[in-house]
């Protein structure tokens, strides 16, 4: 079978895509979003001999915190030509009288089970986690519906490295296969990398892009890390998995302590953090359920054993909305496959690739590479002022001088002329909700690090018997807002010890985005005053910032906004301005 992350050879772009190029500068059509159907269904039955106890130890990012009501997998992609089975053509000698018959792809779960290498452990800790999973089939159904987009790729990478396929189940424990999952420790993505470890394993993180959420890059980094841990702990996968959760230093310290005391040094005898003692059993419990779902009264629908996405070259920075229009997919679906890009466009400094559903990939790369600069980026006008330079304007609009020169046909020595309007990347494009939240979460810790702790102060620990409704009542938050902030459904079950983000002070605008506007007043505003500005028709963030003589980035931070958020007439914005008098 061809590798699922290949860049496909393109046929000439379709006539419809070429016609779209001419329309991009004018009126762009809105494609109908493809219909969605769950990739996996889980049919509950009465689990034989399964208790209903609930484990009390959270994982590094609790599954429920990543479980979203609107994250359902797209319909299965069509088979790709020139690939080996599954999806190949069943025919010994095709002829005009005998049509070719497409063989349907196999079941990914079958191949997953066949690659299990870890020993099934009979332990009470595994049974506790097993009971919880078996008694929440709806939760499992939502997890597998998201996993259908990513699992084939992850398994392919594990196979290439000859690593146990149980490791493909780690994102169930880490993030519930929610690529936008974000933990209280600022871990992000399917594999829940914290910023430092992500950087250590080559995951770029900047204003445009967070490689910890990049499906391809983070999978490479996670498997590199797991392999290194496996080697460090002399081939013991359970110790490697434990170290992935709590750090190799903690595990090595526990091993050394047991060695000095003459005790066994396997995972089950080590004194490790509570979270880690539950983390490894969660994975082993999920392994057992996947191996024999019928034993626990569960039935998994098939996940097609074929690539879901293909990687296409973009040839440089490009507006995500432009790609969605040409590919004929919704922006939500495009961001779901490319969650690392949390702005309106890709990163001007790369990577210059995107993932798209494989059935939409043919011809797309060639089409993207033929776009002009004006077609690649939706642009706005900026009037050059005294003191402006290409570099300062590029920095103001979070782009590069090279991109700005390209958009305006400027040579390498050309300088902007005062009073002349330049084309700049337009950020006034609404982002999907998850991407907007990711942008806000990235902005706030960087800009206000050390000035407040609202992201941590707004975390609540679930107590036994808690429900979302009870926590919402206790914190003065609407239950639907609480569910939305935590990517959950209102009726989702909670675990004792689970961490939830709640709106600080009961305000629906705080919570995930970091608290009230007053919390974000910069240190230099002592002696200043607070201004509430009512947005008028035609206003932009830049025009308001110029009027109030503040920075756009400060205005975004004070109002817990991402750069892609659209303004509405009548909207109230808070700003902190210097006293004039």
- Catalytic sites, residue numbers: 174
- What distance in Å separates the CA atoms of residue 60 and residue 238, rounded to the nearest whole number? 16
109 neighbors 290 (Cβ within 8 angstroms): yes
Rg (CA), the chain: 26
Give the position of tokens 């013991």.
Answer: 236
- Cα separation values, 445 from 195, 200, 230, 449, 513, Å: 11, 19, 33, 5, 10
As given in the structure block, the two tokens for residue 96 are 């005009």
H helices present in 98-150, as ranges: 108-114, 124-134, 137-147
- What distance in Å separates the CA atoms of residue 559 and residue 516, rounded to the nearest whole number? 8
* Closest listed residue to residue 552, CA positions, set 427, 434, 435, 405: 427
Could you write out the DSSP letters of every residue in 155-169? HHHHHHHT--GGGGG
- What distance in Å separates the CA atoms of residue 503 and residue 120, rounded to the nearest whole number? 42
Give, for 356, the enclosing helix (H) or strand (E): strand 353-357
Helix, strand or coil, per DSSP, at residue 509: coil
Q: Which long-range contacts (C-beta less than 8 Å, at least 24 apart) are formed by 401-406?
A: 402/348, 403/317, 403/348, 403/377, 406/373
As given in the structure block, the two tokens for residue 454 are 């609202």
Q: Using CB atoms within 10 A of its CB, is residue 110 exposed (0-12), middle (13-18) or buried (19+)?
A: exposed
- Give exposure, 34-63, as e/b (b: 16+ Cβ within 10 Å): eebebbbebebeebeebeeebbebbbbbbb
298 neighbors 45 (Cβ within 8 angstroms): yes
- What distance in Å separates the CA atoms of residue 106 and residue 32, rounded to the nearest whole number? 30
Helix, strand or coil, per DSSP, at residue 457: helix
Could you write out the DSSP letters of every residue in 434-449? HHHHHHHHHHHHHHTT
- Cα separation values, 78 from 103, 104, 172, 225, 306, Å: 11, 10, 26, 34, 9
- Cα separation values, 188 from 169, 210, 400, Å: 17, 9, 26
């Amino acid at each position: 079978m061809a590798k699922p992350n290949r860049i496909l050879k393109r046929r000439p772009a379709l006539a419809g895509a070429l016609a779209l190029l001419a329309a991009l500068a004018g009126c762009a059509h809105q494609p109908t979003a493809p219909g969605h159907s769950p990739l996996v269904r889980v049919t509950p039955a009465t689990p034989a001999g399964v208790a209903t106890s609930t484990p009390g130890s959270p994982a590094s990012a609790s599954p429920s915190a990543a479980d979203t009501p609107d994250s359902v997998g797209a319909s299965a992609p069509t088979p790709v030509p020139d690939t080996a089975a599954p999806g190949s053509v069943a025919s010994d000698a095709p002829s005009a009288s005998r049509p070719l018959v497409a063989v349907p792809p196999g079941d990914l779960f079958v191949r997953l089970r066949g690659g299990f290498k870890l020993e099934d452990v009979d332990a009470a800790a595994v049974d506790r986690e097993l009971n919880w999973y078996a008694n929440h089939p709806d939760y499992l159904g939502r997890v597998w519906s998201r996993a259908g987009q990513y699992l084939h790729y992850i398994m392919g990478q594990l196979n290439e490295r000859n690593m146990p396929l149980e490791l493909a189940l780690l994102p169930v424990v880490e993030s519930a296969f929610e690529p936008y999952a974000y933990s209280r420790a600022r871990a992000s993505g399917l594999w829940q990398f914290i910023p430092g470890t992500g950087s250590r394993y080559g995951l770029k993180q900047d204003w445009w892009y967070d490689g910890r959420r990049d499906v391809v890059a983070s999978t490479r980094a996670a498997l590199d890390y797991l392999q290194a841990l496996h080697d460090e702990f002399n081939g013991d996968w359970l110790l490697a998995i434990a170290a992935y959760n709590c750090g190799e230093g903690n595990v090595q310290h526990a091993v050394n302590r047991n060695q000095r005391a003459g005790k066994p040094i396997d995972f089950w005898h080590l004194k490790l953090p509570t979270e880690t003692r539950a983390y490894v059993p969660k994975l082993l419990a999920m392994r057992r359920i996947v191996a024999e779902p019928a034993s626990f009264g569960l039935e998994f629908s098939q996940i097609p054993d074929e690539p879901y996405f293909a990687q296409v070259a973009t040839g440089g920075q490009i507006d995500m909305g432009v790609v969605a229009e040409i590919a004929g997919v919704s922006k939500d679906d495009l961001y779901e496959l490319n969650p690392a890009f949390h702005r309106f466009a890709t990163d001007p400094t790369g990577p210059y690739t995107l993932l798209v559903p494989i059935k939409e990939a043919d011809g797309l790369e060639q089409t993207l590479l033929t776009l002009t600069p004006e077609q690649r980026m939706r642009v706005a006008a900026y009037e050059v002022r005294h003191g402006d330079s290409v570099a300062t304007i590029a920095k103001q609009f979070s782009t590069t001088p090279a991109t700005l020169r390209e958009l305006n046909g400027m040579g390498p020595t050309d300088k902007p002329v005062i009073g002349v309007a330049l084309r700049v990347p337009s950020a006034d494009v609404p982002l999907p909700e998850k991407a907007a939240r990711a942008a806000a979460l990235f902005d706030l810790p960087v800009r206000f690090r050390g000035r407040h702790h609202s992201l941590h102060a707004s975390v609540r620990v679930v107590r036994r018997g808690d429900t979302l409704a009870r926590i919402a009542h206790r914190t003065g938050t609407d239950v639907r807002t609480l569910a939305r902030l935590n990517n959950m459904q209102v009726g989702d079950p909670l675990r004792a010890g689970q961490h939830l983000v709640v709106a600080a002070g009961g305000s629906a605008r705080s919570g995930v985005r970091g608290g009230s506007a007053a919390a974000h007043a910069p240190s230099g505003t002592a002696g200043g005053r607070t201004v509430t500005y009512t947005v008028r028709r035609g206003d932009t963030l830049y025009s308001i910032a110029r009027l109030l003589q503040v920075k756009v980035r400060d205005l975004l931070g004070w109002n817990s906004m991402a750069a892609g958020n659209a303004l509405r007439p009548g909207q109230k914005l808070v700003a902190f301005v210097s006293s004039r008098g």
